[in-house]
Structure 1
């Protein structure tokens, strides 16, 4: 039994180790669709595990972690619309997450001197400390989850996904 099969059998009993995954079973499908399914399943596996660990170890959600991560790159703060654009979610989603984080004392709203109608959101000192702890754990989780790949395979995959990203951007319709 492979390491993945052992892990799947113990952690995710619904995944039978001797049954091929969806993208392997999709032999009648186009190679591009099978590749898309493989990438999606990998991302979903990792994202679900990160969500679970954030919930269990920090009593938080991935969207809260993501919003705080965006704010670490903007010490002076960001407008709600900027957060919405960076996180690719609606302003309403950002407002709800921000309200919760503010209630917990992790972010604060400040008036924007350049636009009195807007507020800037930034991490509080408590939010910075909390996020640093989560960030360190998150990095360890990702290293653990991807640690089964040989360094050469990891580098090759990184380069190939970079090629895919550029190729995809080139094929997107002009906006």
Structure 2
């Protein structure tokens, strides 16, 4: 697999220095390149529904939780309340979600799916989940288990505080 140019240049410089295990670095950059490619393809597929990944995830969260405050959505997405407000406003404008004030605290906005949003989510999830599954179609169950184990180990390594130092 061809690395993205930005990673290829990085590897070329490191190869000349010969101070690190280049195969491990290439493997990490391959993972990043594949993840980026998946993100790009995902965005193209969602664009036909006029959705971004963040907008889709908000719809998914609302289907799971029925209704959420802006602050709860922000926390679940891991983004700022301001960014959440922008995303939710666009979903309101498209008629996919509705907003009302909390009965106990009028300062809190409660968001829920509209029937139009539910229909779009159902259609999108059906098509999108099939596409996502196809990404690993040619992997055996054993391959998937090994891949998940390797990803878990990488995640553990990245999560360790001493790596950052």
Instruction: Sort the TM-score into its range (normalised by shorter chain).
Output: 0.7 to 0.9
How large is the Cα RMSD of the aligned pairs?
2.5
Identify which of 71, 86, 90 aligns with 2:80: 90
Structure with greater helix share of residues: 2
1:97-136 aligned at under 5 Å gives the runs 97-136=87-126
Q: Distance in 2 between matches of 1:155 and 1:140?
A: 19
Q: Distance in 1 between matches of 2:153 and 2:121?
A: 32
Deviation at 1:36, TM superposition (A): 3.0
Q: Distance in 1 between matches of 2:41 and 2:25?
A: 24
Q: Distance in 2 between matches of 1:60 and 1:158?
A: 28
**Uncovered stretches (5+) of structure 2, i.e. residues with no partner:** none
**Uncovered stretches (5+) of structure 1, i.e. residues with no partner:** 5-19
- Equivalent residue number for residue 31 of structure 2: 39
Q: Distance in 2 between matches of 1:103 and 1:38?
A: 39
8 Å CA contact 2:3–2:33 kept in 1: the answer is no
Q: TM-score, normalised by structure 1?
A: 0.74
- Equivalent residue number for residue 137 of structure 1: 127
Deviation at 1:137, TM superposition (A): 0.9
Q: How many residues align?
A: 153
- Equivalent residue number for residue 9 of structure 1: none
Q: TM-score, normalised by structure 2?
A: 0.78
- Equivalent residue number for residue 21 of structure 1: 3
